[in-house]
Structure 1
Amino acid sequence: MHQPASAIGLQYWLKKMGYPRLIIAGFLLFLFIMAPITGSDLSTQITNVINRFSWNAVLVLAMVPMIHSGCGLNFGVPLGVLAGLLGGTLAIEMGFTGPMSFLMAIVVSTPFAILFGGGYGALLNRIKGGEMMVATYVGFSSVSFMCIMWLLIPYKNPSIVMAYTGVGLRNMFALDSFYAGVLSKFLEIDLNPIGINLVIPTGSILFFALLALGVWAFLHTKTGTAMTAVGSNPTFARASGINVDRIRILSVVLSTWLGAVGVLVYQQGFGFVQLYTAPQNMTMPAVAAVLIGGASVNKASISNVIIGTLLFQGLVTMTPTVITALIHTDVSEVIRIIVSNGMVIYALTRKTEGAK
């Protein structure tokens, strides 16, 4: 007995969307519906979700090039974050302020991203097939190494060094005099004057859109097509004359640079810089977000980045207020951990699946 065309179409879309993504989207919709009922201001919650999306989207975008080249999920994104932190702190040390400090942070972090990404890519080329396992330890070890270096590098700017010794950088310092809000406040749309608690960080969203467009355009160039071919079938790519190792290193360098820029975007929105072990906390949210968006360990697209970041950051933002009001217990961190680790497990058990 043949199934109706509508039933076949529904099954196709369910398989294409993936049950975990549908469940998470449904749960997020439930949170939005319950927000006004529990006494939360819906406009404020939407503002928080949009803000967190604009802060984190570039870090999630950093996953795409390495996935395309077959290097898997970038658990080594702390290398890019560290390059960005070096760029940001050195720009401040050199005395730059305002928008120029943000621009110089990107400029200074670029050579570090190229250096770190090149070495990281060369390492991954030596252990093909075990990239994600090694990348995890690369992230841990690099963050631990830089915990020492933040104390040894001779920074002198009183705004960022430890106040009581003048040696070593603080664990956290504010960016009010530097690049805090440099993107978020650019062309900002504030609807508070008309009675709606909604603020849209237009500059941050436009900056992400520009980078996303750049990545999309790059993936459609000859080099980008070669990168996709390497990720899909390295044997065929090598037979076609493509230098597989060089393309893989290029993808890692690009991912590392996007990670460096991504943490600078995050910092300007957050308004603070966090050092020492903080970069390690950037990995799982970025990996989980791209997976929630529909990516797998060998396929990813810009739409996966956008959808996944909105869903993941929506959960992180909405859960504390809504669920806490409903059950009078804050389980936001528990839900975040379940979603993050659960999506990674789901992706690793479905290596051939991904959004088309």
Structure 2
Amino acid sequence: MNQIKKWISENIVVLFFCMLCIAAYTIAGQNPYVVASDLINRVMRNSIMVLALIIPILTGMGLNFGIVVGAMSAQAALIFVTHWRLTGVAGIAAALVMCTAVSVLCGYLLGRLFNRTRGQEMITGMIAGYFGQGIYLLIFLVLLGTVIPFWDDQLSISTGIGVKDTLNLQEGMKGALDAAYKLPLSTVCIIGFAIFTVYTGYRLWKAGDEEQKAGRRGRIVRWAGLGILLAALLVIPVTSAVIRRCSIPVITLIFILLVSLLCQFVMNTKLGQDFRSVGNDIHIAESAGINVNRIRIIATIFSTVLASWGQFAFLQNMGTFSTYTAQQNVGTFSIAALLVGGASIDRANVKQAFIGVVLFQLLFLLAPAAGTKIFNDSQVGEYFRTIISNGVIAVALVLHAMHKAQENAKAAAEAEV
């Protein structure tokens, strides 16, 4: 019983938003296939941006609102790739190389700024994002066509100064990752379960000491539970019809998985140990000989580069974007998604990122329809999006604060005993 209470206490945020999603789906009454296909699309284009937040949290810098700078790096790269009429593999490679190079520079400068404002990284990142937007607007609205020679009848404003408000990607760049190769969701689930089976078998075979052997039962139970769940989903008529109709963009999925593995790999290296050491106690890390400023700069660069990749994945999925405002909600939505997954300002992992992006995007998808059903007004339903994107952060932080206060009170009581 105590273990159940502990599990509920540790996952209170996730459980709360799961209940909200169930309530919203019940009220909205939308077609399951429409919800599932739209959710898959949203998860594919938003996951990398959420993963970009993990390393700064691990390093003790909190929620990195500065990922907006990385998003603008991707937008700048796509503007020039469109100007050069690059498409296909060449366009993807050029955009990724350009946005990576620019985001490395921006991440370095942002990391230097964070080192001068220790303890205030979140508000500093937010202000730096606004400052970065000002520089971005100055370049693409004023300097391009005046100081910087630039003319493109498809991109330039009629006066010849600045870029148009809306940018449409070239045909070979629209859905460049998504449209390359797709598989049915059922096939992807079966392949995923097969890979998980091989991984579980390998871990069971490698279990040498008693501690590892003690975890065998848990691994077998997880494997069996996942297999039973998958079989049920493929057999039950309602879910089976949805799973077989939905498709997954394989290249985008591989891209997301590679970024996830990269994050997991980095966290298991010496560099990852340094990240955690700095995050746990910066003074002890300095005493241990760790170059704290360097580690924090590396973490910021890593986050900014992943944010630029995430924005590239998002924009190629959309096919069109607002040149000057596409980056505005990047930080808010990504941070809200991560918090919904059970993360906090000092603890986050890849699993929480994926849980969060699924729950947040599902709620973000269903809330307008649910609001319309409740108030019988489509405009009120749309306001629910704003309420969710901003309110989720506040609710999640309050719940985490309450959980932290309970843990501190419990620790104090145990210390007195």
User: Given the two structures, how large is their TM-score scaled by the length of structure 1?
Assistant: 0.89
Question: 2: CA distance between counterparts of 1:73 and 1:350?
Answer: 18
Matched to 2:179, the amino acid is K
Q: Is 2:232 aligned against 1:180?
A: no
Which residue of structure 1 lines up, in the alignment, with residue 94 of structure 2? 104
Match of 2:154 among 150, 154, 159: 159
Question: 2: CA distance between counterparts of 1:182 and 1:67?
Answer: 31
> Which protein has the larger Cα radius of gyration, Structure 1 or Structure 2?
2
Higher relative contact order (CA 8 A, sep 6+): 2
1:285 Cα deviation from its structure 2 partner: 0.5
Q: Is 2:5 aligned against 1:11?
A: yes
1:157 Cα deviation from its structure 2 partner: 3.3
Question: 2: CA distance between counterparts of 1:158 and 1:286?
Answer: 35
1:275 Cα deviation from its structure 2 partner: 2.2
Matched to 1:90, the amino acid is F
Matched to 1:342, the amino acid is V
Which residue of structure 2 lines up, in the alignment, with residue 94 of structure 1? 84
1:308 Cα deviation from its structure 2 partner: 0.5
Q: Is 2:102 aligned against 1:50?
A: no
The 5 A counterparts of 1:197-216 are 197-216=245-264
The range that moved more, 228-237 or 113-122, is 228-237
Identity %: 27
Which residue of structure 2 lines up, in the alignment, with residue 295 of structure 1? 343
Question: 1: CA distance between counterparts of 2:113 and 2:287?
Answer: 23
Q: Is 2:303 aligned against 1:250?
A: no
1:202 Cα deviation from its structure 2 partner: 2.8
1:350 Cα deviation from its structure 2 partner: 6.5
User: Given the two structures, how large is their TM-score scaled by the length of structure 2?
Assistant: 0.76
Question: 1: CA distance between counterparts of 2:161 and 2:74?
Answer: 21
Question: 2: CA distance between counterparts of 1:49 and 1:277?
Answer: 23
1:268 Cα deviation from its structure 2 partner: 0.9
Match of 2:16 among 16, 23, 28: 23
1:105 Cα deviation from its structure 2 partner: 0.6
Matched to 1:115, the amino acid is L
Matched to 1:17, the amino acid is N
SS of aligned partner of 2:321 = strand
1:251-277 CA deviation, whole Å, 9 max, x = no partner?
000000011111000001111132223
SS of aligned partner of 1:278 = coil
1:338 Cα deviation from its structure 2 partner: 2.0
**Alignment gaps of 5+ in structure 1:** 1-6
1:33 Cα deviation from its structure 2 partner: 4.1
1:198 Cα deviation from its structure 2 partner: 2.4
Q: Determine if contact 1:75/1:139 at 8 Å carries over to the other structure.
A: yes
**Alignment gaps of 5+ in structure 2:** 186-239, 408-417
The 5 A counterparts of 1:234-313 are 234-313=282-361
The range that moved more, 200-209 or 304-313, is 200-209
User: Structure 1 residues 351, 85: CA separation in 2 closer, same or farther (over 3 Å shift)?
Assistant: farther
Which residue of structure 2 lines up, in the alignment, with residue 77 of structure 1? 67
Question: 2: CA distance between counterparts of 1:143 and 1:341?
Answer: 24
SS of aligned partner of 2:329 = helix
The range that moved more, 271-280 or 227-236, is 271-280
Question: 2: CA distance between counterparts of 1:149 and 1:203?
Answer: 33
Question: 2: CA distance between counterparts of 1:335 and 1:234?
Answer: 34
**Higher helix proportion, which one?**
2
